[in-house]
Structures are given as C-alpha cells and as structure tokens.
Structure 1
C-alpha cells in the first residue's frame, strides 16, 4: 500500500484543495478547508475516506458554480467595484453589460 503525503492534494477539473492531517497523539485528524460567508472554515474527520469524500463534495460545488466556495483577490474586487460604479451611472447591471459586450464582440 502506498503511503500518502500530507497535505494531500485533491484535484477535480481545474480546481484543487488540500486535506490536512494533524497528529492528535494516538490518532490523526483530517481537515478539509472550504469557504463559507467569506471565511475559511474546516470540516474535521477521524477517517481519511470521509475527509476525501467531503473534499470531492467541496470541489464539486466549486465546479458547478457554488458561490460560497469562491473568493476574489484584491485586484478582482477592485475591478468589480470600478465596473459597478461605471455602470451605476447608466443604470445597467454588470450581467446585462457583459452580455451586451459579448453579443457585440461576436
């Protein structure tokens, strides 16, 4: 049997996350990170297989557009904020503006 190295990287599509292992003396605790309400949180498991299953669920949520799992960088927040400010003057939402731009470019 192959020995696993930690943090263990789980990939699904073009996203990935790490399962962390903590030594609790006589056993190991496995932690799966995720984001909820803009904060990083961890689900903890004593069984690696359950942690792996949860990691697959988290990654599946990201791949299908689970917004709670996404986080914007500082630069992305700045771009979004500036875009919304520009569009506020013309009474157009960001989604409508991007759809119009996409149609125009085709």
Structure 2
C-alpha cells in the first residue's frame, strides 16, 4: 500500500478552500506547544480509538500531520488510504516542521 502524500502548500490550499480537514497525530503536549490552527487532535498513542471517536466530514480529504511526517505516515498506512467513511487520506510531507519552514502560520511555537 502506497501512502498518499501532500505538500504543505497544497494542504494549505485545500484547507483554505474547505476541501480538507487536518488531523494532528502528535501527543497532547506537542500539540499544546505548537499547532496548525484548526487541526483535530488524535494522538498516535491513542490509536485507533482516537480516530474512531472523531466525526470527520465525509465530503473532505483527510490530511494526517505530525512533527516531520513519520508518525502520520504510520497512521496513513494503517488506514490504507481511506478514512472511516471512505475519505481519501493524505500524509503531510515534512509535517508541522515543513509547514512552519514554508512560512505558513502556526499557533504557539
């Protein structure tokens, strides 16, 4: 199974257009220290229950995000490319580190 990936620029465009939602799979303390505005927290340590508890929109792409892309890629691989209701799932290439390096806004940090 190949994990779909999305660049930070494309992810930002999808979020701005309302075409996607982003799920942060980092831990609570990491999320509290710095996050992308509007993300949904679902820590990897609490998977798969953390995902099961989310009410994700069925008409949007799902972007998984972590610090650098490793943990979110694990979640994408586990999901095998589709969300709970069949939504396409993408890994944010480079995670929040790449997002911030691209000059995109973060809360905290």
TM-score by length of structure 1 reads 0.28
TM-score by length of structure 2 reads 0.27
Higher relative contact order structure (alpha carbons within 8 Å, sequence separation ≥ 6): 2
Higher strand share: 1
Higher helix share: 1
